[in-house]
Structure 1
Amino acid sequence: MPTYKLCYFNTKGLGEMARLVFAEAGVEYTDERIEQADWPARKSEMPFGKMPVLYVDGQPIAHSRALIRYLGRCFNLMGSSDMEAAIIDMWIEVVIEAAMQYPFAEKDEAKKAELLEATWNDHLLPVFTKLNDQICKSGGPYLLGEKLSVGDVVVCAIIELSMQWFPGKTLDSLQLVTKMNDSFKQRPNIAAWIKKRPEEK
Protein backbone atom coordinates (compact mmCIF):
# COMPACT_ATOMS: atom_id res chain seq x y z
CA MET A 1 0.00 0.00 0.00
CA PRO A 2 1.42 3.42 -0.92
CA THR A 3 1.88 6.14 1.65
CA TYR A 4 -0.41 9.14 1.22
CA LYS A 5 -0.13 12.72 2.46
CA LEU A 6 -2.72 15.40 1.75
CA CYS A 7 -1.71 19.04 2.10
CA TYR A 8 -4.45 21.64 2.49
CA PHE A 9 -5.59 24.43 4.76
CA ASN A 10 -7.31 23.76 8.07
CA THR A 11 -10.71 24.08 6.46
CA LYS A 12 -13.04 21.98 4.34
CA GLY A 13 -12.85 23.80 1.01
CA LEU A 14 -11.50 21.73 -1.87
CA GLY A 15 -9.50 19.45 0.42
CA GLU A 16 -12.42 17.83 2.22
CA MET A 17 -13.40 15.77 -0.82
CA ALA A 18 -10.15 13.80 -0.61
CA ARG A 19 -10.49 13.42 3.16
CA LEU A 20 -13.95 11.97 2.66
CA VAL A 21 -12.66 9.51 0.05
CA PHE A 22 -9.93 8.32 2.40
CA ALA A 23 -12.53 7.96 5.15
CA GLU A 24 -14.89 5.94 2.97
CA ALA A 25 -12.07 3.71 1.72
CA GLY A 26 -10.73 3.18 5.24
CA VAL A 27 -7.23 4.06 4.07
CA GLU A 28 -4.72 5.77 6.35
CA TYR A 29 -3.05 8.98 5.24
CA THR A 30 -1.33 12.03 6.69
CA ASP A 31 -3.73 14.96 6.84
CA GLU A 32 -1.33 17.91 6.88
CA ARG A 33 -3.27 21.08 7.63
CA ILE A 34 -1.36 24.25 6.88
CA GLU A 35 -2.39 27.37 8.77
CA GLN A 36 -2.96 30.55 6.79
CA ALA A 37 -0.13 32.28 8.67
CA ASP A 38 2.31 29.59 7.51
CA TRP A 39 1.14 29.48 3.90
CA PRO A 40 3.47 32.17 2.43
CA ALA A 41 6.49 30.18 3.61
CA ARG A 42 5.07 26.89 2.35
CA LYS A 43 3.62 28.01 -0.98
CA SER A 44 6.83 27.44 -2.96
CA GLU A 45 6.84 23.77 -1.89
CA MET A 46 3.68 23.08 -3.88
CA PRO A 47 4.05 22.18 -7.58
CA PHE A 48 1.91 25.09 -8.80
CA GLY A 49 1.81 27.21 -5.66
CA LYS A 50 -1.70 26.04 -4.76
CA MET A 51 -3.43 23.41 -2.65
CA PRO A 52 -4.72 20.77 -2.24
CA VAL A 53 -1.77 18.58 -3.14
CA LEU A 54 -1.70 14.82 -2.64
CA TYR A 55 1.65 13.10 -2.18
CA VAL A 56 1.75 9.41 -3.09
CA ASP A 57 5.03 7.85 -1.99
CA GLY A 58 6.43 11.37 -2.25
CA GLN A 59 5.11 12.01 -5.78
CA PRO A 60 2.92 15.14 -5.80
CA ILE A 61 -0.44 15.25 -7.55
CA ALA A 62 -1.76 18.80 -7.72
CA HIS A 63 -5.29 20.09 -8.35
CA SER A 64 -8.37 18.92 -6.48
CA ARG A 65 -10.08 17.32 -9.47
CA ALA A 66 -7.00 15.45 -10.65
CA LEU A 67 -6.28 13.97 -7.25
CA ILE A 68 -9.91 13.07 -6.54
CA ARG A 69 -10.08 11.11 -9.80
CA TYR A 70 -6.80 9.41 -8.97
CA LEU A 71 -8.16 8.31 -5.60
CA GLY A 72 -11.38 7.19 -7.24
CA ARG A 73 -9.44 4.88 -9.53
CA CYS A 74 -7.29 3.61 -6.67
CA PHE A 75 -10.26 2.79 -4.44
CA ASN A 76 -12.72 1.52 -7.06
CA LEU A 77 -14.96 4.59 -6.88
CA MET A 78 -14.90 5.60 -10.56
CA GLY A 79 -17.74 3.41 -11.81
CA SER A 80 -17.75 0.08 -13.63
CA SER A 81 -17.42 1.25 -17.24
CA ASP A 82 -16.06 4.08 -19.36
CA MET A 83 -19.55 5.57 -19.59
CA GLU A 84 -20.02 5.51 -15.82
CA ALA A 85 -16.60 7.13 -15.40
CA ALA A 86 -17.63 9.84 -17.88
CA ILE A 87 -20.85 10.51 -15.95
CA ILE A 88 -18.85 10.76 -12.73
CA ASP A 89 -16.40 13.15 -14.43
CA MET A 90 -19.28 15.26 -15.70
CA TRP A 91 -20.78 15.74 -12.26
CA ILE A 92 -17.42 16.47 -10.65
CA GLU A 93 -16.86 19.24 -13.19
CA VAL A 94 -20.38 20.65 -13.06
CA VAL A 95 -20.75 20.92 -9.29
CA ILE A 96 -17.27 22.33 -8.67
CA GLU A 97 -17.68 24.84 -11.50
CA ALA A 98 -20.97 26.01 -9.97
CA ALA A 99 -19.44 26.29 -6.49
CA MET A 100 -16.49 28.29 -7.79
CA GLN A 101 -18.87 31.08 -8.80
CA TYR A 102 -18.90 32.05 -5.11
CA PRO A 103 -17.61 35.66 -4.87
CA PHE A 104 -14.58 34.88 -2.70
CA ALA A 105 -12.70 38.07 -3.60
CA GLU A 106 -15.56 40.58 -3.40
CA LYS A 107 -15.02 43.05 -0.55
CA ASP A 108 -18.04 45.31 -0.99
CA GLU A 109 -20.77 43.79 1.20
CA ALA A 110 -23.70 45.04 -0.89
CA LYS A 111 -22.14 43.77 -4.10
CA LYS A 112 -21.23 40.48 -2.46
CA ALA A 113 -24.81 39.96 -1.29
CA GLU A 114 -26.00 40.49 -4.86
CA LEU A 115 -23.41 38.08 -6.23
CA LEU A 116 -24.25 35.49 -3.59
CA GLU A 117 -27.89 35.51 -4.62
CA ALA A 118 -26.85 35.09 -8.25
CA THR A 119 -24.49 32.25 -7.35
CA TRP A 120 -27.30 30.35 -5.69
CA ASN A 121 -30.09 31.12 -8.18
CA ASP A 122 -28.12 30.97 -11.43
CA HIS A 123 -25.51 28.31 -10.69
CA LEU A 124 -25.92 26.07 -7.65
CA LEU A 125 -29.70 25.61 -7.53
CA PRO A 126 -30.00 24.75 -11.25
CA VAL A 127 -27.21 22.18 -10.88
CA PHE A 128 -28.81 20.64 -7.80
CA THR A 129 -32.13 20.49 -9.68
CA LYS A 130 -30.45 18.62 -12.54
CA LEU A 131 -28.82 16.40 -9.94
CA ASN A 132 -32.25 15.47 -8.63
CA ASP A 133 -33.17 14.38 -12.17
CA GLN A 134 -29.99 12.29 -12.46
CA ILE A 135 -30.70 10.47 -9.20
CA CYS A 136 -34.27 9.80 -10.35
CA LYS A 137 -32.93 8.35 -13.59
CA SER A 138 -30.40 6.10 -11.82
CA GLY A 139 -32.85 4.87 -9.21
CA GLY A 140 -30.71 6.33 -6.42
CA PRO A 141 -29.71 6.91 -3.83
CA TYR A 142 -26.53 7.95 -5.68
CA LEU A 143 -25.56 9.26 -9.11
CA LEU A 144 -25.22 5.77 -10.57
CA GLY A 145 -27.74 3.97 -8.40
CA GLU A 146 -26.76 2.02 -5.32
CA LYS A 147 -22.98 2.13 -5.79
CA LEU A 148 -21.12 5.10 -4.32
CA SER A 149 -18.61 6.94 -6.51
CA VAL A 150 -16.23 9.85 -6.10
CA GLY A 151 -18.84 11.86 -7.97
CA ASP A 152 -21.16 11.42 -5.01
CA VAL A 153 -18.39 12.36 -2.61
CA VAL A 154 -17.73 15.59 -4.51
CA VAL A 155 -21.42 16.42 -4.80
CA CYS A 156 -22.04 15.89 -1.08
CA ALA A 157 -18.94 17.89 -0.15
CA ILE A 158 -20.21 20.78 -2.29
CA ILE A 159 -23.68 20.48 -0.74
CA GLU A 160 -22.10 20.80 2.70
CA LEU A 161 -20.15 23.88 1.63
CA SER A 162 -23.24 25.38 0.01
CA MET A 163 -25.30 25.00 3.18
CA GLN A 164 -22.44 26.65 5.06
CA TRP A 165 -22.18 29.52 2.57
CA PHE A 166 -25.94 30.04 2.18
CA PRO A 167 -27.46 29.49 5.65
CA GLY A 168 -30.88 30.75 4.54
CA LYS A 169 -31.17 28.30 1.65
CA THR A 170 -32.37 24.70 1.69
CA LEU A 171 -32.66 21.77 -0.69
CA ASP A 172 -35.85 20.48 0.93
CA SER A 173 -37.78 20.69 -2.34
CA LEU A 174 -35.25 18.38 -4.01
CA GLN A 175 -36.13 15.23 -2.13
CA LEU A 176 -33.78 12.87 -3.96
CA VAL A 177 -30.80 15.19 -3.45
CA THR A 178 -31.66 15.43 0.24
CA LYS A 179 -31.98 11.65 0.47
CA MET A 180 -28.65 11.20 -1.32
CA ASN A 181 -26.88 13.58 1.04
CA ASP A 182 -28.45 11.97 4.11
CA SER A 183 -27.53 8.49 2.87
CA PHE A 184 -23.95 9.59 2.29
CA LYS A 185 -23.56 11.13 5.75
CA GLN A 186 -24.98 7.98 7.35
CA ARG A 187 -22.41 5.64 5.80
CA PRO A 188 -20.43 4.25 8.77
CA ASN A 189 -16.98 5.46 7.74
CA ILE A 190 -18.27 8.87 6.65
CA ALA A 191 -20.29 9.33 9.84
CA ALA A 192 -17.23 8.43 11.91
CA TRP A 193 -15.08 10.96 10.02
CA ILE A 194 -17.65 13.75 10.37
CA LYS A 195 -17.80 13.09 14.10
CA LYS A 196 -14.03 13.16 14.66
CA ARG A 197 -12.72 15.62 12.06
CA PRO A 198 -10.98 18.73 13.41
CA GLU A 199 -12.89 21.95 13.84
CA GLU A 200 -12.27 24.51 11.13
CA LYS A 201 -10.31 27.62 12.03
Structure 2
Amino acid sequence: MALIKTQSVEPVAEESRQAPRDCASLIASLTATDPIARRWAARDLVDCPEAAAALVERLKQESEVSVREVILTTLTNLGDPVAVAGLVDCLRSEDAALRNEAIEAMQKLPDAVAPMMRELLADPDSDLRIFAVNILESLCHPEVETWLIEVIDRDPHVNVCGAAVDLLGEVGTLNARESLLRVKARFANEPYIRFAADLALGRLRET
Protein backbone atom coordinates (compact mmCIF):
# COMPACT_ATOMS: atom_id res chain seq x y z
CA MET A 1 0.00 0.00 0.00
CA ALA A 2 1.45 3.35 -1.04
CA LEU A 3 2.14 5.91 1.64
CA ILE A 4 0.34 9.22 1.35
CA LYS A 5 2.69 12.10 2.06
CA THR A 6 1.19 14.57 4.48
CA GLN A 7 1.77 18.26 4.03
CA SER A 8 4.24 19.84 6.45
CA VAL A 9 2.89 22.41 8.89
CA GLU A 10 5.92 24.69 8.61
CA PRO A 11 5.35 25.84 4.99
CA VAL A 12 1.83 26.91 5.95
CA ALA A 13 3.24 28.93 8.84
CA GLU A 14 5.86 30.54 6.62
CA GLU A 15 3.27 31.38 3.96
CA SER A 16 1.26 33.17 6.63
CA ARG A 17 4.29 35.34 7.29
CA GLN A 18 4.69 36.61 3.74
CA ALA A 19 2.57 39.73 4.24
CA PRO A 20 4.47 43.06 4.59
CA ARG A 21 6.34 43.17 7.90
CA ASP A 22 6.30 46.92 8.60
CA CYS A 23 4.63 47.88 11.89
CA ALA A 24 1.42 49.21 10.34
CA SER A 25 0.95 46.04 8.27
CA LEU A 26 1.67 43.83 11.27
CA ILE A 27 -0.92 45.66 13.36
CA ALA A 28 -3.43 45.16 10.55
CA SER A 29 -2.57 41.44 10.48
CA LEU A 30 -3.67 41.09 14.11
CA THR A 31 -7.22 40.88 12.76
CA ALA A 32 -6.46 38.40 9.97
CA THR A 33 -8.83 35.45 9.65
CA ASP A 34 -5.89 33.01 9.76
CA PRO A 35 -4.75 32.51 13.38
CA ILE A 36 -1.25 31.60 12.17
CA ALA A 37 -0.99 35.01 10.50
CA ARG A 38 -2.19 36.66 13.71
CA ARG A 39 0.39 34.72 15.71
CA TRP A 40 3.24 35.74 13.40
CA ALA A 41 2.09 39.36 13.52
CA ALA A 42 1.95 39.33 17.32
CA ARG A 43 5.43 37.86 17.49
CA ASP A 44 6.99 40.27 15.00
CA LEU A 45 5.43 43.31 16.67
CA VAL A 46 7.98 42.97 19.46
CA ASP A 47 10.06 45.51 17.50
CA CYS A 48 7.16 47.99 17.30
CA PRO A 49 6.64 49.82 20.61
CA GLU A 50 3.72 51.76 19.12
CA ALA A 51 1.81 48.47 18.79
CA ALA A 52 1.13 47.94 22.50
CA ALA A 53 -2.39 49.39 22.41
CA ALA A 54 -3.36 47.29 19.39
CA LEU A 55 -1.94 44.16 21.01
CA VAL A 56 -3.96 44.75 24.18
CA GLU A 57 -7.11 45.36 22.16
CA ARG A 58 -6.55 42.11 20.24
CA LEU A 59 -5.80 40.22 23.44
CA LYS A 60 -9.22 41.12 24.84
CA GLN A 61 -11.01 39.45 21.93
CA GLU A 62 -8.58 36.75 20.78
CA SER A 63 -10.00 33.23 21.09
CA GLU A 64 -6.97 31.20 19.98
CA VAL A 65 -4.86 30.24 22.99
CA SER A 66 -1.61 30.11 21.02
CA VAL A 67 -2.16 33.63 19.68
CA ARG A 68 -2.98 34.95 23.14
CA GLU A 69 0.24 33.44 24.47
CA VAL A 70 2.32 35.21 21.83
CA ILE A 71 0.51 38.51 22.38
CA LEU A 72 1.23 38.30 26.11
CA THR A 73 4.89 37.46 25.46
CA THR A 74 5.23 40.45 23.14
CA LEU A 75 3.51 42.77 25.62
CA THR A 76 5.85 41.54 28.34
CA ASN A 77 8.87 42.16 26.13
CA LEU A 78 7.63 45.64 25.26
CA GLY A 79 6.88 46.38 28.92
CA ASP A 80 6.12 50.04 28.28
CA PRO A 81 3.49 52.12 30.14
CA VAL A 82 0.88 51.48 27.44
CA ALA A 83 1.41 47.71 27.66
CA VAL A 84 1.25 47.73 31.45
CA ALA A 85 -1.82 49.96 31.54
CA GLY A 86 -3.50 47.60 29.10
CA LEU A 87 -2.71 44.62 31.30
CA VAL A 88 -4.12 46.46 34.30
CA ASP A 89 -7.31 47.07 32.34
CA CYS A 90 -7.51 43.32 31.68
CA LEU A 91 -7.70 42.78 35.43
CA ARG A 92 -11.18 44.33 35.30
CA SER A 93 -12.38 41.85 32.68
CA GLU A 94 -15.16 39.36 33.36
CA ASP A 95 -12.97 36.76 31.61
CA ALA A 96 -11.18 34.86 34.40
CA ALA A 97 -8.63 33.38 31.98
CA LEU A 98 -7.73 36.85 30.70
CA ARG A 99 -7.35 38.16 34.25
CA ASN A 100 -5.03 35.29 35.16
CA GLU A 101 -2.98 35.83 32.01
CA ALA A 102 -2.64 39.52 32.82
CA ILE A 103 -1.53 38.73 36.37
CA GLU A 104 1.14 36.31 35.09
CA ALA A 105 2.38 38.85 32.55
CA MET A 106 2.58 41.63 35.15
CA GLN A 107 4.52 39.39 37.52
CA LYS A 108 7.29 39.38 34.90
CA LEU A 109 7.48 43.20 34.84
CA PRO A 110 8.53 44.23 38.36
CA ASP A 111 10.17 47.52 37.37
CA ALA A 112 7.28 48.59 35.15
CA VAL A 113 4.56 47.51 37.59
CA ALA A 114 6.14 48.85 40.79
CA PRO A 115 5.27 52.56 40.22
CA MET A 116 1.55 51.75 40.04
CA MET A 117 1.38 49.06 42.72
CA ARG A 118 0.21 51.32 45.54
CA GLU A 119 -2.49 52.68 43.26
CA LEU A 120 -3.65 49.15 42.43
CA LEU A 121 -3.66 48.15 46.08
CA ALA A 122 -5.85 51.16 46.86
CA ASP A 123 -8.31 50.66 44.01
CA PRO A 124 -12.00 51.04 45.01
CA ASP A 125 -12.71 47.55 43.65
CA SER A 126 -11.80 44.98 46.32
CA ASP A 127 -11.51 42.24 43.69
CA LEU A 128 -8.88 44.24 41.84
CA ARG A 129 -7.00 44.78 45.10
CA ILE A 130 -6.95 41.01 45.57
CA PHE A 131 -5.62 40.60 42.03
CA ALA A 132 -2.92 43.14 42.89
CA VAL A 133 -1.90 41.03 45.89
CA ASN A 134 -1.81 38.01 43.56
CA ILE A 135 0.61 39.90 41.33
CA LEU A 136 2.90 40.40 44.32
CA GLU A 137 3.08 36.63 44.81
CA SER A 138 5.74 36.25 42.12
CA LEU A 139 6.83 39.87 41.67
CA CYS A 140 10.56 40.01 42.28
CA HIS A 141 10.74 43.46 43.87
CA PRO A 142 12.28 44.58 47.18
CA GLU A 143 9.12 46.45 48.23
CA VAL A 144 6.77 43.45 48.16
CA GLU A 145 6.75 42.99 51.94
CA THR A 146 6.29 46.73 52.53
CA TRP A 147 3.27 46.80 50.22
CA LEU A 148 1.74 43.76 51.93
CA ILE A 149 2.23 45.31 55.37
CA GLU A 150 0.48 48.46 54.17
CA VAL A 151 -2.42 46.33 52.95
CA ILE A 152 -3.02 44.53 56.24
CA ASP A 153 -2.65 47.80 58.17
CA ARG A 154 -5.09 49.81 56.06
CA ASP A 155 -7.40 47.73 53.87
CA PRO A 156 -10.93 47.41 55.31
CA HIS A 157 -11.87 44.29 53.34
CA VAL A 158 -11.35 40.97 55.06
CA ASN A 159 -10.68 39.04 51.83
CA VAL A 160 -8.00 41.48 50.68
CA CYS A 161 -6.31 41.30 54.06
CA GLY A 162 -6.62 37.52 54.03
CA ALA A 163 -4.82 37.31 50.68
CA ALA A 164 -2.06 39.62 51.95
CA VAL A 165 -1.66 37.68 55.20
CA ASP A 166 -1.37 34.41 53.26
CA LEU A 167 1.41 35.86 51.14
CA LEU A 168 3.22 37.33 54.15
CA GLY A 169 3.34 33.78 55.46
CA GLU A 170 5.52 32.98 52.46
CA VAL A 171 7.65 36.12 52.06
CA GLY A 172 7.35 37.96 55.38
CA THR A 173 10.17 38.81 57.75
CA LEU A 174 10.10 39.89 61.38
CA ASN A 175 9.30 43.38 60.07
CA ALA A 176 5.73 42.20 59.54
CA ARG A 177 5.19 40.90 63.06
CA GLU A 178 3.46 43.92 64.61
CA SER A 179 1.21 44.40 61.59
CA LEU A 180 0.17 40.76 61.67
CA LEU A 181 -0.71 41.08 65.35
CA ARG A 182 -2.74 44.21 64.59
CA VAL A 183 -4.68 42.66 61.72
CA LYS A 184 -5.40 39.64 63.89
CA ALA A 185 -6.89 41.95 66.53
CA ARG A 186 -8.75 44.07 63.96
CA PHE A 187 -10.50 41.01 62.54
CA ALA A 188 -10.86 39.19 65.85
CA ASN A 189 -14.21 37.77 64.77
CA GLU A 190 -12.83 36.30 61.54
CA PRO A 191 -11.50 32.77 62.22
CA TYR A 192 -9.59 32.56 58.94
CA ILE A 193 -7.68 35.80 59.56
CA ARG A 194 -6.71 34.60 63.03
CA PHE A 195 -5.59 31.25 61.64
CA ALA A 196 -3.66 32.74 58.70
CA ALA A 197 -2.02 35.40 60.88
CA ASP A 198 -0.88 32.80 63.42
CA LEU A 199 0.49 30.67 60.60
CA ALA A 200 2.32 33.66 59.10
CA LEU A 201 3.70 34.68 62.49
CA GLY A 202 5.13 31.21 62.91
CA ARG A 203 6.88 31.42 59.54
CA LEU A 204 8.43 34.87 59.78
CA ARG A 205 12.13 34.89 59.10
CA GLU A 206 14.87 37.23 60.23
CA THR A 207 16.01 39.89 57.77
Normalised to the residue count of structure 2, the TM-score between the two structures is 0.28
**Structure with more of its chain in helix, by fraction:** 2
Which structure has more relative contact order (CA 8 Å, sep 6+)? It is 1
Structure number with higher strand proportion? 1
TM-score of the superposed pair, with normalisation by structure 1: 0.29
Highest Rg: 1 or 2?
A: 2
